[in-house]
Structure 1
Amino acid sequence: MTPWHLDPESCALLVIDMQNDFVREGFPMEVPMARSRLPAIRTLVHACRARRVPVVYTQQILYDSFDVSPLETAYQPKLREVGMRDGTYGAEIVDELRPEPCDHVVRKHRYDAFHNTPLQSVLATVRGLNVVDTLIITGTLTEVCCESTARSAFMRDYKVAFVSDATGALSEAAQEATLHTMRSFFGRVMTTAEVLEALR
């Protein structure tokens, strides 16, 4: 039984951290699965723009001048030196998904895109006051920023559509573990094709 249906009039698309440092081959935080998801994410971005569904990108941003995310860098020490640096090519959204003027970009310093960012305010007003009640989650890392943001959305009473073939993890095992958790507790796991059908 489907707990709810995706309504194109009350949803928004989140594109989580599809930045060069995560997507490009040989870059500091390379996620090959994220690179393979580019066509699906691009298809969803174009479909949402065509239906006037808001597209919101997130960027994980770190600084050279001080350690803005010290626990993150404690677990990932190389991030003390490289990765997602403010103002660098690596921190930019990949060209294949380049934001357009109609889109929105939210910069963040934690895995959860709601934490100390304007995301909540953007979603609460972008289609009119409190119209958006459903978030379509795409991007990377599935098991880190996508999952953290999806859980946080659920806690804020958003319906979560977690797109199985438009999210990229570090491994198939991590991907499947997150999808299992999402469908069991936090939202609907949908394919790109299922989301496109709902948008039509």
Structure 2
Amino acid sequence: MAIEVLDAAGARAAIPELCDVLIECVDGGASVSFMAPLSRDKAAAFWEGVADGVARGERVLIVARAEVIVGTVQMVPAPQENQPHRADIAKLLVRDHARGRGVAASLMAAAETAARTAGRTLLVLDTASGEAGERVYARLGWTAVGKVPGYALFPDGRPCDTTFFYKNLRARDAVDAPDQSIDLTRTAAP
């Protein structure tokens, strides 16, 4: 498995595979901003917007590739003037057949490295409460702040409680240095 940071051209070239990942996750019940059934056109429009954000330097798109893309995550630096130290982690998605193989952990390590590279030391994210993501983030050393009942919906329309997490990279630097073997140079998709 290779972890890659995609530039805008690479993101655009990867849209068909990224659509596959997103649609599979939504069809599988992941509460990631979309309702089921998620059309390919709507998924493609989302990823085109992500590619535009990459081109503007507003986000970093990271993928895990094992012949095809099996997972993805984004690091989104806070745009607010008074938050130059903060970034959001968004859309950690892993295909069903690749789960339990360290893909999420590798993607999150790369997102943390990208954040450090961008000078961001405080990361925040939210995830569906009681789902696999919540366990992944806790295992990776993220701190749960609290839960908001009914914050979002699952793709089938059921209310979804959401847990908010943060990670202070500055406090972790001395204890948990990033894996320097991850190549975070911006690469285009083949």
| Short-chain TM bin | 0.3 to 0.5
TM-score, length basis structure 1: 0.33
Q: From the two aligned structures, give the one with the greater strand fraction.
A: 2
TM-score, length basis structure 2: 0.34
Q: From the two aligned structures, give the one with the greater helix fraction.
A: 1
